[in-house]
Amino acid sequence: MSILLNNSGTKVTLTSAPNPSTKDQPVTFTATVTGSLEGQPLPTGTVSFEMGSGRRSVALVNGVATYTTSKLPAGTDKVTARYLGDENFIANSSQQILQVVNQ
């Protein structure tokens, strides 16, 4: 006898606004996590926003996690959102986005 867990795939979408931004301006990163099959419940758990050597974990609320910061250095920052999974959904990551921060 074997037991198969019904872990479902996920899709993670990451956006930022405004982009580009200016130094010291608040930027909001939004990660949306959905099940890969229609009709599934919303994933729960945590998203880790990763940029440079920094990382900030934020709980999902209705499939969405947001993180706002005004501490980004001038230049181009590479940002990824990593969904850590839950008892029903497997972990997954967004595509990397580039956040441009002007002086």
In the predicted model, what is the mean pLDDT of residues 50-78? 94
CA distances from 32 to 43, 60, 61 (A): 10, 8, 10
What pLDDT is stored for residue 40 in this prediction? 86
* pLDDT-above-90 percentage for the chain: 83
Q: Which of 38, 66, 71, 40 is nearest to 54 (CA)?
A: 71
pLDDT digits 0-9 by tens, 16-52? 999 999 999 999 999 999 998 888 889 999 999 999 8
Residue 12 confidence class, pLDDT cut points 50, 70, 90: very high
What pLDDT is stored for residue 4 in this prediction? 46
Write out the CATH class of domain 10-102.
mainly beta
What pLDDT is stored for residue 37 in this prediction? 86
Looking at 21-25, 36-40, 64-68, 95-99, which range is the least confident one? 36-40
Tokens 């497997």 -> residue: 90
CA distances from 60 to 16, 25, 29, 49, 103 (A): 17, 24, 13, 12, 32
What pLDDT is stored for residue 53 in this prediction? 77
